[in-house]
Amino acid sequence: MNPEFWHKRWQEGRIGFNQSTVNPLLIEYFNCLNLTVGSRIFVPLCGKSIDMVWLATQGYDVVGVELFETAVQEFFAEQNIEPAVYQQADNPMIKYYQSQLSEQTITLWVADIFALTAKDIGSINAVYDKAALIVLPADMRVRYSEEVRKLSSDTSKVDGANNKITPQLLLTLNYDQRKKNGPPFSINADQLEQYYSAHYQIYELASVPSSIGSAPDITVTEHVWLLSSK
């Protein structure tokens, strides 16, 4: 992940990846996670995704992580919410914004995801990854998948190897990578096996036609995956 690349995109407002409506695949397949109302959903590399608003209005607390503070500030401003801002006790360079929406708590960390711990994130019941894995280059994806697993694991147990695996709803894109060199990057089933099969059962829930705004002539499919404990 090249922070300068994404920082420039946010500065210039080139955020076509940020959807103005809730992803319909989230609405259709979220119940596959079998969560009780009030559960806490982790959204890595969250940007200012409106999907987080939908999760809150459905009765779920949201915990997001975003590298760029501008995105977090814009999220709360666009939702007409005044958040409180807190610093991490051990690192004053890391902070989080927190407020209520539809009586649910939304906590957005401004940090490199690899600088956080499960203690920071707190108890998590599920992960929603719409636009995190697909923006990372191949050499970062294994590390990222492990980091998300650790951040969302059951922190009540001391031995991380025996922690309860938290389910994930994962959305990916698949296209001919020779025609476009991401991001977003194309991810296929074999790659998912490489990143997640050590700890998760991988189920494909859907495959639908999609598109990439910067490359409208490329044939793209969007895939919905459920990752659950083995």
Q: Give pLDDT tens digits for 184-220.
A: 899 999 999 999 999 999 999 999 999 887 778 899 9
pLDDT higher than threshold 90 for residue 182: no
**Rounded Cα distance, 107 and 100, in Å:** 9
**Rounded Cα distance, 41 and 57, in Å:** 13
Q: Specify the pTM.
A: 0.90
pLDDT higher than threshold 50 for residue 83: yes
Q: What are the structure tokens assigned to 21, written together?
A: 């409506």
Which pLDDT score is estimated for 181? 78
**Rounded Cα distance, 11 and 105, in Å:** 28
102-140 pLDDT, tens digit per residue, is: 999 999 999 999 999 999 999 999 999 998 999 999 999
137-179 pLDDT, tens digit per residue, is: 999 999 999 999 999 986 554 444 446 889 999 999 999 888 8
Q: CA 49, 112, 107, 53: dihedral to nearest 10 degrees?
A: 10
The distance in angstroms from the start CA to the end CA of the chain is 29
Q: Are 26 and 128 in contact (CB under 8 A)?
A: yes
List strand residue ranges (DSSP E) for 73-199, in order: 84-88, 91-101, 104-110, 126-129, 168-174
CATH 3.30.420.10 fits 3-229, yes or no: no
Residue appearing with tokens 């920071």: 120
